[in-house]
């Protein structure tokens, strides 16, 4: 370590610089899965303290939209799009918007230092938080979907598909949210990006696409939440085309993998400045 | 244990925008050189903005220096910043990552992220909370605690999962004397049992004098002195500090007092003077008798503290705290 003779050191009270021959052994790294689970558990418990009111807001917003659209839409394909869109909107609100805000604030306040000075893989922090936020959406999405089906008289038969839609749309949207939060130079900007993302999911996801102009339909196709909506909407019919459902879900999964990878990279970048 | 050489970090100039004035380039750490021995409680003392936190962030791998080297237990932290997390535990000034967790879960999660398995993490959590007297608060979320209690809970997370080096950035801010004592006895115990080294950032002069083995005094990013507290104080041993507090205003009609005014540092009704012992005795005799005494509210005569050392060494700031 130090080969400098003690005499030249500032301060003479103690001889402190003794040459050290070999580097000391490092404490082990935290492994990916255990630390992911620890982060997930901690984030989930935050919900109890801080997030319950916001989860209610997310659900009420979607239920409100359903009631509002009931006056406009009678049934058929349009009703399916409205119900699916409102259900996935809960995922967008929590996983995209709230997670972007959370990471934006954590980064701005210096809270990332806590994780950065622990030997934890970046992916564990990002995936743990993203997973927890995606889990927060489960009750709200279920309530919205069931309420919508009852309101519009749609069958509840294939509601189980939500078991795939929520995690995959959740992965895609929470990955985007985490990336927004970690990349935005200021926390206000992270909030704006999260809000805009959610507004896009609301405006482009809830309304049936058939009557929209070409440009709007194109931007709708660019939004990852759209594929979650489509996958869910397809299952209301009497004979759902499962290949298309799988295709839509695969897009969600793909966006999820890419956006979570970007978020992990952004975390690494934000942690060491 | 820890060797720092020529560490320099410059924050670039920021162009002014609407509402925010431009700031010039700031050299936050300037050619810093330190050597910390194993088992030492080593302090960084300086007022706010002296560069203490920036220096510590470079030692913990959170910030890359522009030039210079940091070596901890034989590991090059500048080249491998990620190794720092496996050598040291860091208590930063912010608790926002833990605020919404309960004290118990914050400690357990931190332990797990420090590589402990569930059983060990829970064992150490219980032991540390018990040691610091936090067990009654274990189920409360950090944000619902008082500032001092929250700080103590954050300190608890630092102790879960043993590390040979603890880097503590103003650990006792806002704490009552009981909590402070808990912190320093926990530190002492680890040093006695395991030879734990502590790097402490503080702007509290009294704390620096009582707990530190050695202290580096920082001013505007430079180390202006580094020695034991007693050794530093010897540098200004020829002086004593006189503090005079006037009832309403200083009796400038008394010639001896009027003469003093130029040499006093005034803050409100308080005058602080650094004088040779003979001079100080004469002043005290003057102000405690005659016309000046009527205007005097309080006075103290004290041997020099590290604050006096800081000022005598040419420290520019005024931000040190005596508490």
Q: How confident is the model at residue B312 (pLDDT cuts 50, 70, 90)?
A: confident
Task: Reply yes or no on whether the pLDDT at A163 is more than 90.
Answer: yes
Of A17, A117, A124, the CB nearest to B35: A17
Partner-chain contact A1 B71, CB within 8 Å:
yes
CA distance A88 to A74: 20
Q: How far is A98 from chain B (nearest CA, A)?
A: 15
Residue B196 with chain A: CB contacts under 8 Å: none
The band of A77, judged by pLDDT with boundaries at 50, 70 and 90, is confident
Lowest mean pLDDT among B53-67, B95-109, B217-231, B249-263: B249-263
Structural domain includes residue A125? yes
CA distance B233 to chain A (A): 12
pLDDT greater than 70 at residue A17 = no
Model confidence pLDDT, tens digit, residues A127-151: 999 999 999 899 999 999 999 999 9
Residue A7 resides in a domain: no
Bridge partners (DSSP) of residue B9 are: B29
- The DSSP call for residue B321 is B
CB atoms under 10 Å from CB of B192, counted, come to 10
What pLDDT, on a 0 to 100 scale, did the predictor assign at position A8? 41
- In this predicted model, which residue has the larger pLDDT, A246 or B240? A246
Residues in chain B: 323
Q: Specify the number of domains making up chain A.
A: 1
CA B267, B272, B275 angle in degrees (round to 5)?
Answer: 160
3-state SS of A116-169 is HCCCCCHHHHHHHHHHHHHHHHHHHHHHHHHHHHHHHCCCCCCHHHHHHHHHHH
Domain that holds residue A184: 30-268
Residue A12 is assigned to a structural domain of this protein: no
- Domain membership of residue A134 (yes or no) is yes
Long-range contacts of B277-283, Cβ-Cβ distance < 8 Å, separation of 24 or more: B277/B238, B277/B240, B280/B240, B280/B242, B283/B242, B283/B256
Tens digits of residue pLDDT in B256-296:
888 888 888 888 888 888 888 888 888 888 888 878 888 88
CA-CA-CA-CA dihedral for B158, B164, B169, B171, to nearest 10? 50
Do A113 and B35 make contact, defined as CB atoms within 8 angstroms? Answer: no
The separation between CA B134 and the C-alpha centre of its own chain, rounded to angstroms, equals: 24
Chain B positions in Cβ-Cβ contact with residue A113 (cut-off 8 Å):
57, 62, 90, 92, 94, 97
Task: Evaluate whether residue A61 is within a structural domain.
Answer: yes
| CA–CA separation, A268 and A240 (whole Å) | 42
Of chain A, the percentage scoring pLDDT greater than 70 comes to 91
Q: What is the pLDDT of residues A46-59, one digit of tens each?
A: 877 667 888 888 89
What are phi and psi for residue A114, nearest 5 degrees?
Answer: -60, -50
Q: How far is B75 from chain A (nearest CA, A)?
A: 6
pLDDT reported for residue B316: 62
- What is the sign, positive or negative, of the torsion defined by CA atoms of A160, A164, A169, A174? positive
pLDDT value for B77: 94
**Residue A27 DSSP one-character state:** P
A53 touches chain B (CB under 8 A): no
Q: Which of A47, A51, A142 is nearest to A88 (CA)?
A: A142
Q: Decide if A83 is inside a domain.
A: yes
| Torsion angle of C-alpha atoms A105, A173, A139, A70, degrees rounded to 10 | 110
User: Contact A11/B228, CB-based, under 8 Å?
Assistant: yes
Token pair 């420290």 is found at B315
Instruction: Say whether B71 and A112 touch across the interface (CB within 8 A).
Output: no
Of B181, B125, B118, the closest CA to residue B157 belongs to: B125
- Mean of the pLDDT values across residues B89-113? 94
Let me know: does A205 contact A88? Beta carbons within 8 Å.
yes
What's residue A10's pLDDT?
Answer: 41
How confident is the model over B180-218, as pLDDT tens digits?
Answer: 999 999 999 999 999 999 999 988 888 888 899 999 999
CB nearest B64 (choices: A14, A39, A272):
A272
B2-227 CATH: 3.40.50.300
Cα–Cα distance between B267 and A256 in angstroms, integer? 60
Query: How far is A231 from A170, CA to CA, in rounded Å?
Result: 14
Inter-chain contact A109–B64, Cβ cutoff 8 Å? no
What angle, rounded to 10 degrees, do the helices at B147-159 and B103-113 form? 30
Question: A159 CA to chain B: closest CA distance, Å?
Answer: 34
- What residue spans of chain B are helical by DSSP H? 52-59, 103-113, 118-131, 147-159, 177-194, 205-211, 229-234, 255-260, 277-287, 290-295, 306-312
Length of chain A: 273
Element at A172 (helix H, strand E): helix A162-183
Among B75, B97, B227, beta carbon nearest to A115: B97
CA distance B307 to A182: 41
Kindly provide the ipTM of the predicted complex, given to two decimals.
Answer: 0.85
pLDDT band of B18, cuts 50, 70, 90: confident
B322 falls in which pLDDT band (50, 70, 90)?
Answer: low
Q: Is residue A16 part of a domain?
A: no
Strand-pairing partners, residue B168, are B91, B200
Q: What is the DSSP letter of A111?
A: T
Predicted local confidence at residue A6, as pLDDT: 40
């Amino acid at each position: 370590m130090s080969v400098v003779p003690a005499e030249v050191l500032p301060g003479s009270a103690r001889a402190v610089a003794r040459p050290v021959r070999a580097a000391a052994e490092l404490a082990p790294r935290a492994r990916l899965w255990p630390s992911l689970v620890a982060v997930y558990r901690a984030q989930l418990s935050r919900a109890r303290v801080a997030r319950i009111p916001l989860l209610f807001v997310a659900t009420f917003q979607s239920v409100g939209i359903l009631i509002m659209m009931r006056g406009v839409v009678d049934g058929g394909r349009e009703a399916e799009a409205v119900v699916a869109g409102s259900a996935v909107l809960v995922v967008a609100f929590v996983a995209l918007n709230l997670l972007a805000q959370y990471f934006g604030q954590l980064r701005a306040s210096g809270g990332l230092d806590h994780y950065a000075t622990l030997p934890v893989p970046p992916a564990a922090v990002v995936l743990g938080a993203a997973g927890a936020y995606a889990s927060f959406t489960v009750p709200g999405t279920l309530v919205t979907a069931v309420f919508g089906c009852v309101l519009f008289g749609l069958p509840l038969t294939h509601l189980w598909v939500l078991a795939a839609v929520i995690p995959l749309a959740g992965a895609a949207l929470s990955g985007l949210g985490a990336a927004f939060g970690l990349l935005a130079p200021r926390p206000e900007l992270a909030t704006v990006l999260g809000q805009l993302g959610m507004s896009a999911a609301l405006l482009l996801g809830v309304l049936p696409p058939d009557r929209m102009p070409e440009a709007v339909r194109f931007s709708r196709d660019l939004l990852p939440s759209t594929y979650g909506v489509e996958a869910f909407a397809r299952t209301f019919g009497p004979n759902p085309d499962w290949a298309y459902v799988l295709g839509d879900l695969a897009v969600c999964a793909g966006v999820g993998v890419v956006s979570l990878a970007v978020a992990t990279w952004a975390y690494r970048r934000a942690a060491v400045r | 244990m820890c060797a720092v050489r020529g560490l320099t970090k410059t924050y670039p100039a920021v162009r002014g925008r609407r509402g925010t004035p431009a700031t010039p380039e700031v050299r936050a750490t300037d050619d810093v050189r330190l050597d910390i021995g194993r088992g030492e409680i080593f302090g960084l003392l300086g007022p706010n903005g002296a560069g203490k936190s920036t220096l510590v962030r470079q030692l913990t791998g959170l910030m890359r220096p522009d030039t210079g080297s940091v070596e901890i237990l034989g590991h090059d932290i500048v080249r491998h910043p990620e190794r720092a997390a496996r050598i040291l535990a860091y208590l930063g000034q912010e608790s926002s990552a833990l605020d919404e967790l309960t004290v118990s879960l914050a400690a357990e999660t931190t332990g797990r992220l420090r590589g402990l398995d569930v059983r060990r993490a829970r064992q150490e959590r219980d032991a540390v909370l018990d040691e610091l007297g936090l067990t009654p608060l274990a189920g409360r979320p950090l944000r619902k605690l008082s500032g001092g209690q929250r700080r103590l809970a954050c300190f608890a997370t630092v102790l879960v999962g043993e590390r040979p080096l603890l880097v503590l950035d103003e650990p006792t801010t806002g704490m009552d004397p009981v909590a402070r004592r808990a912190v320093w006895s926990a530190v002492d115990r680890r040093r006695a049992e395991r030879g734990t080294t502590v790097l402490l950032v503080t702007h509290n002069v009294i704390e620096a004098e009582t707990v530190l083995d050695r202290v580096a005094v920082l001013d505007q990013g430079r180390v202006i002195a580094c020695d034991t507290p007693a050794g530093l104080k010897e540098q200004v041993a020829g002086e004593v500090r006189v503090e005079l507090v006037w009832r309403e205003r200083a009796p400038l009609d008394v010639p001896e007092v009027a003469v003093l005014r130029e040499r006093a540092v005034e803050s409100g009704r308080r005058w602080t003077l650094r004088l040779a012992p003979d001079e100080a005795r004469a002043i005290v005799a003057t102000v405690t008798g005659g016309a000046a005494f009527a205007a005097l509210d309080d006075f103290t005569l004290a041997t020099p503290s590290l604050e006096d050392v800081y000022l005598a060494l040419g420290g520019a700031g005024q931000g040190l705290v005596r508490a």
